[in-house]
Chains A and B, each alone.
Chain A
Amino acid sequence: MSTCLQTPKKLQPPGSQRSLSDSVQETAAPRRPWILQTGTQHAKGDLAVVIRDIVIRWVLGGVIAFLLVTLISPCFLTSLRVYEWSAELDDYVLMDGYVHRKRDEGWATTHYGPYGFNSMAGMGDSSASTVMIWGDSYVEAHHVSDEQKTAYQVNKALSEQGLSHFRAITIGRACWSVSDYYFKIPQYEKLLNPVCHFIVVAEYGLKDLCPDGETFLSEPTLQFVCRSLVNPHKIKVITGLYKWGLSDMLLAPWKAVRTVMADGRNMRFTVGPYRKVDETTADSGCSVLFAWNEPNSIIESWSYALDMLKTSTSKPIVLVLVPEVPHLERGVTCCVDPQSEWRGRLAELCMAKQVGCIDMTETLVNDYRTTGKFSRGFHNGQPDSGHLNARGNWLLSRQICAYLNEHKDSLRKTDHAVHAN
């Protein structure tokens, strides 16, 4: 069969001075069926030995590799959350004694005590007036150490300022939003009997106050839906493993399975252009504003949310707005929040509804101008954005302390009224 070509003698393949795969030294294998071609020569009768040798070596190697990576990965992976049921709170809370490691943004360890409270902040002096600080992952603050979290810093500052009759406790969980606060405030009030509630809104686009289609619905009418973020079956497994000291062993395999499943969900075999999922972005390229069709409906949603929050408690509620400023934008530090107008409208609404509102924009910007430090970001994330770092938590704690200082008399009256009742 006339096939391709004869290589002329004068043309040497360009790589002739180097081997084609010169990183490998290949021993010349005899011409055998491929299954028998190995790096070493064996007689026919040794096929079983060869296969056994290969299988044992690779299986053993695989086991060693699995153990090696599995054993070291807990140092570099965020730990799995371990929950327990709390009858008092009628909900799953992080287990008493559980130690959470956060590794993907920030590098910190959080210790938990009873009822899922951070044990360093602790319950403190139970005779003190409790101030509850609600929020999502920003308040949960796994990204910073216990001493750098808002509650600890608030309590420390209160003590320094002679306001130790107040104690702060943070109640935060990743992915929580306004509807979660609405359902949980009454439950926690039974346990702690607070004098006021601070709700930290730090997620971009004031998203936690807006309809999300899951827990805060806007169709057919505005309504809150109660939900649980935890899967009881999964918790049972993880808690069981944790009690045996094996939950860290699960980390690496769990992560690997998630990686494969995530890739698997995006699999396709049809020919055609690859389409990347686009995210909506604001014109200025700044933080994403929560996508909605009619801006007026947002005011309506906020009004509904504030009304509902007020029905969940008789105690004062204070919103703490933490915008994403300052941040880097094409090499320049941007101190202007593109959502300042919306924050202004929210503040007006709060005033009309007699809900407290602290806007931290000026605090954050002035702090940056003075110290050159960002209030968000970590070395293993991005230096200017993401969750509040130690500096950000400190600034937040100062704002809360300042508010408590300013309103300590009215809060004391509230507290006395509660005790009198």
Chain B
Amino acid sequence: MILAGLLYSFAGMAALCFAMDRHHRQLRHRAPAGGVRLALRVLAAVGLALALLACMERWGWSMGLVAWFGMLALGGLALVFLLPYAPRTAAWLAVAGPIIAAFLRG
């Protein structure tokens, strides 16, 4: 649950990040189209919600909420410090992470 939560939060943060012009350019050298941007934002919300669910499952709602904030911070920080060095790796990790997480939980 813990690793799954971290992977979801990283993926959610990454989707949120790549929905922004500046960071989308780091990946594809152009700004995202409107539809892509919207899709990424929806995915971001789903990822962060799944992270919250993973925390709830592991800790219950009161402790889970505390853990969720911590995971959002760590997911975001990991992304921010990876992004300038390896944007593609970050993107792949954001795709592979939730798949691994789903297996971990299944």
A binds B: no
